[in-house]
Amino acid sequence: MTTTPYCYTSHFHNVEQSNDIGAVVGALFSADDCARAYSTIRQWPAYQPTPLVSMTDIAAVAGVEKVYYKDESSRFGLGSFKALGGSYAIDCLSHDPSIDELVVCTATDGNHGRSVAWGARLCGAECHVFIHANVSEVRAQAIAALGAVIHRIEGNYDDSIAVCNQQAAKHGWQVVSDTSWEGYREIPALIMAGYSVMTFEMMDQLNGDIPSHVLLQAGCGAMAGALIASMWQHWGPRLPTIIMVESDRSDCVYQSLRRDEICLVNIVSETLMAGLSCGEVSALAWPLIQKGAAHAVTIDDAGVGPMVRWLANPTAADRPSIVGGECSASGLIALLAIQADQRLANDIGIDNQSRVLVIGTEGNTDADVYENIIRGAL
């Protein structure tokens, strides 16, 4: 399993900067909002906490005490953690008395669009989803099957956001995006509150065992920002060392941390990890990542196939088979890449006593890609 790790080591994770992250969380992300999201989503039909799996075989190879894997592959039958976000925002919008007729729209690489379409269907709202040229037809059909109108545009994910916003302004639609920008924060904040449900569940599942390190996929930063904030709300200064994980083809968080400001990355070629293909950090998530993350690591696509197959075919009798999609593999790939470089492992502080938490963000959300990976074609 080959990867090329690049590490930007910041100095945010210390006592003084932990105080800073507390102030940022307090200003941007209300604990009451997270609790309200948890209370609401627990009442939805078919709600079940997703499993937290002890990955004994991967922990042994990585040389750490434990690897915890939050398996989001079964979330509401949509196959990813995204089911918690867009759908929750639409639920909130549907109860807004100032909105006469709710029509929602979003841009997506796949999973977020599925969440928005599902949430719109639950609330009886019209839904338009904008996808870029490289979104697979399988993902497009899955969104359309939930009742959304699909609009395919040329360009990349950031281009699809621009077109979505233009059409929303033209038709008076409500944009439901998990990335934020100047003047657009309320709905992304609701989406992030929805993502924080994972933290509430993990508090129970960890049974008091606070991880030493947490690897979080970057993308636009919404999930990472939400989990950093909600983990701080639960653990405060005991917040684990946060490691951001990105594709080397879309490393907007890595580049932004290097410059200490949001940096737009032009995506020239798409990564197999489609959910990580974002060129700019969400403005709402950025301060949380900037103050809460200790490291950023980028990986290439080479480890995706082997890791997806390893998830499906455990090498330990006490670990279940897991349907993990391409993005789910990324945190584990990064962990092994770090451990393969002793200097990097020392810098990050991962050793045989480390307890590492990773997020299995998605399951088989693109059947064609997943089947090709399992049979070794990718």
Residues 213 and 317 occupy one common structural domain: yes
Backbone angles phi, psi at 157, to 5 degrees: -60, -45
């604990």: which residue's tokens? 31
Residues 110-154 pLDDT 10s: 899 999 999 999 999 999 999 999 899 999 999 999 999 999 999
Give me the chain's average pLDDT, please: 93
Residue 179 pLDDT: 87
Mind listing the pLDDT tens digit for each residue in 253-280?
A: 999 998 999 999 999 999 999 999 999 9
Name the domain count of the chain: 2
Is the predicted pLDDT of residue 345 greater than 50, yes or no?
Answer: yes
* Domain termination residue (choose one: 143, 177, 211): 177
**Domain endpoint, select from 177, 200, 215:** 177
Neighbours of 57 (CB within 10 A): 17
Q: Is 44 exposed, middle or buried (0-12, 13-18, 19+ CB in 10 A)?
A: middle
Query: Containing domain of residue 46, as a range?
Result: 6-81+191-374
| Residue 309 predicted with pLDDT over 90 | yes
Q: Are residues 162 and 65 in the same domain?
A: no
Are residues 321 and 211 both part of a single domain? yes
Backbone angles phi, psi at 167, to 5 degrees: -70, -35
Would residue 182 count as lying in a domain?
A: no
**Residue 161 falls inside a structural domain:** yes
CATH of the domain at 152: 3.40.50.1100
Positions marked catalytic: 82, 109
pTM > 0.85: yes or no: yes
285 vs 44, 87, 275, CA distance in Å? Answer: 26, 19, 16
Domain match, 144 and 197 both: no
264 and 157 within one domain: no
Mind listing the pLDDT tens digit for each residue in 235-256?
Answer: 999 999 999 999 999 999 999 9
Is 329 in the same domain as 256? yes
> Which pair of structure tokens corresponds to residue 41?
């989503």
Residue 18 lies in a domain: yes
DSSP string, 353-376: T-EEEEEE-BSSSSHHHHHHHHTT
